[in-house]
């Protein structure tokens, strides 16, 4: 019986996904658990694996299309199995010069040629540098190509190749005929035009934009694509649909830094950062102030039982927030180890969808950039986000005496539709208190 491959919902905030790249084509054999298609969501790019073994009988959604969750993307069937016509027309198949009279069957790949499993971040890097992934030796599980493998391939000396002729360069650019004619009329070099169609195909609108845009020597036009475009949309949506207010307080973390130094010596190489201490304090504070551990759903607020804290991780193309689940129930050592592991997986493009969704609160850290206070933007549908700045030595006046201490700013942004100023301030003071007397974290 044919198996439909649906676009899953990875997290309750996911509503749609974009088909970035099909890793198989119609007629290809596929195994259960083998990557079938690369999907881009609001959180990340990831491979969707096949839920059945058989042949890719139909691909129903072309690359570049954005579709809602639970859309049928493809159909997997047994070799030779008859299937019903698709509800959504499939893209037209390429024309064949001499159609065969023999029945078509799926053939195994040639000997020595296998499907290359690649993490999305490595695939993007390879595309940027023109690396043939079939020639890259993967060092990950089951030979999966990681970003480090692509970086090594980029650094390796490449064999000299004959320069491409102008005709070859022009042929390499995919252009719709009308766009090619218009470019010829205006003397426009299509190699300098960024295509917005599927697989970078140049459309007539792209040529029209290039004609209208004045040349600016020394300037580069960068399109907002992929995760960067998604972040731009979500941040603007967050600011336009929520009543955001930011409260800032200065926290004496002298004792917390002493605790950090002592633990780091004991862990021998496994460092403890200020971020880990703030996450631990925030997790406990959210149990004391559950109104901030919530998600907004239209005209309702859902107070969450689990404290799932998202940690903002910086990537070249934007921010991703892997989630520490049940953070309030974990020890400081567990939080630190899991935070490091999730951050590493996110930067390498190995994070699974369930590891970057389902957050109930977010913590973001700009202390490494010598920032003190700032106004973090809420990650919808959450209602709060806590930012921490750098740790700075300052003189502290206590009981009429001046001593040297270590201070850090905390910046809480909350949705005033859900939480009033006084309860939000009380939460911030609770977190501050936990950090200023931190020894309970190791009790």
User: Does 23 score more than 70 pLDDT?
Assistant: yes
Q: Name the packing angle between helices 274-288 and 332-347 (round to 10°).
A: 110
For β-strands 384-398 and 401-415, DSSP reports them as antiparallel
pLDDT tens column, 308-339: 999 999 887 788 899 999 999 999 999 999 99
Q: Which residues contact 17 (CB under 8 A, 6 or more apart)?
A: 7, 39, 40, 41, 66, 67, 69
CA gap 384, 399 in Å, rounded: 35
User: Does 20 score more than 90 pLDDT?
Assistant: no
C-beta separation of 220 from 356 below 8 A: no
Q: Which residues contact 418 (CB under 8 A, 6 or more apart)?
A: 291, 294, 296, 301, 383
> What backbone phi and psi angles, to 5 degrees, belong to 277?
-65, -40
Of 160, 418, 441, which is closest to residue 328 (Cα–Cα)?
Answer: 441
For β-strands 66-68 and 16-22, DSSP reports them as antiparallel
pLDDT tens column, 345-397: 988 888 888 899 999 999 999 999 999 999 999 999 999 999 999 999 999 98
pLDDT of residue 88: 45
CA gap 336, 428 in Å, rounded: 22
pLDDT of residue 107: 43
- Active site residue ranges: 416, 420
C-beta separation of 359 from 309 below 8 A: yes
Q: What is the dihedral of CA 301, 306, 311, 317, to 10 degrees?
A: -60
Beta-bridge mates of residue 6: 72
Of 342, 298, 294, which is closest to residue 321 (Cα–Cα)?
Answer: 342
Query: For 214, how many CA atoms within 13 A lie in the half-sphere containing its CB?
Result: 1
> What are the angstrom distances between the C-alpha of 383 and each of 5, 72, 242, 248?
34, 33, 9, 17
* 3-state percent breakdown (helix, strand, coil) of the chain, nearest 5: 35, 25, 40
Of 438, 414, 424, which is closest to residue 288 (Cα–Cα)?
Answer: 424
Beta-bridge mates of residue 40: 18, 45
pLDDT-derived band at 113, boundaries 50, 70, 90: very low
> What backbone phi and psi angles, to 5 degrees, belong to 8?
-75, 165
User: Does 438 score more than 90 pLDDT?
Assistant: yes
Place of tokens 């599927």: 198
Omega prior to 381 cis, within 30 of 0 = yes
Domains of the chain listed by start with CATH number? 3-83+115-155 (2.40.50.100), 236-442 (3.30.559.10)
pLDDT tens column, 215-229: 556 667 676 766 787
pLDDT of residue 101: 41
Q: What's this model's pTM, rounded to 2 decimal places? A: 0.65
Q: Which residues contact 89 (CB under 8 A, 6 or more apart)?
A: none
C-beta separation of 381 from 301 below 8 A: no
């Amino acid at each position: 019986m044919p198996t439909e491959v649906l676009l899953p919902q990875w997290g309750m905030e996911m509503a749609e996904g974009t088909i970035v790249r099909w890793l198989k084509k119609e007629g290809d054999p596929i195994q259960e658990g083998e990557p079938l298609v690369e999907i881009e969501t609001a959180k990340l790019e990831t491979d969707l694996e096949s839920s059945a073994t058989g042949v890719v009988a139909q691909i129903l959604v072309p690359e570049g299309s954005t579709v809602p969750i639970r859309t049928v993307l493809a159909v997997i069937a047994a070799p030779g199995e008859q299937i019903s016509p698709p509800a959504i027309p499939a893209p037209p198949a390429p024309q064949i010069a001499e159609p065969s009279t023999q029945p078509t069957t799926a053939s195994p790949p040639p000997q020595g040629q296998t499907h290359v499993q690649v993490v999305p971040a490595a695939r993007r890097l390879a595309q940027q540098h023109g690396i043939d992934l079939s020639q890259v030796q993967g060092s990950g599980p089951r030979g999966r190509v990681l970003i480090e493998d692509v970086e090594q391939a980029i650094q390796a000396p490449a064999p000299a190749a004959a320069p491409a002729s102008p005709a070859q360069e022009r042929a390499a650019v995919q252009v719709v005929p009308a766009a090619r004619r218009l470019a010829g009329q205006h003397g426009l070099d299509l190699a300098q035009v960024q295509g917005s169609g599927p697989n970078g195909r140049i459309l007539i609108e792209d040529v029209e934009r290039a004609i209208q845009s004045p040349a600016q020597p020394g300037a580069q036009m960068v399109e907002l694509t992929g995760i960067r475009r998604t972040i731009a949309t979500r941040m603007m949506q967050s600011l336009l649909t929520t009543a955001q207010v930011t409260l800032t307080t200065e926290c004496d973390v002298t004792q917390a830094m002493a605790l950090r130094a002592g633990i780091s010596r004991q862990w021998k190489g496994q460092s403890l950062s200020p971020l880990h201490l703030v996450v631990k304090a925030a997790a406990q504070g959210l149990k004391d102030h559950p109104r901030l551990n919530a998600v907004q759903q239209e005209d309702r607020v859902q107070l969450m039982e689990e404290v799932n804290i998202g940690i903002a991780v910086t990537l070249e193309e934007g921010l991703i927030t892997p989630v520490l689940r049940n953070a309030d129930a974990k020890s400081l050592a567990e939080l630190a180890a899991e935070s490091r592991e999730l951050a590493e997986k996110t930067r390498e493009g190995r994070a699974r969808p369930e590891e970057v969704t389902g957050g109930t609160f977010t913590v973001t850290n700009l202390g490494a950039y010598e920032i003190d206070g700032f106004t973090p933007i809420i990650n919808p549908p959450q209602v709060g986000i806590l930012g921490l700045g750098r740790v700075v030595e300052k003189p502290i006046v206590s009981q009429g005496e001046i001593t040297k201490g270590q201070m850090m700013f905390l910046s809480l942004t909350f949705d005033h539709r859900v939480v009033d100023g006084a309860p939000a301030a009380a939460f911030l003071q609770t977190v501050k208190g936990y950090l200023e007397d931190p020894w309970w974290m190791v009790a």
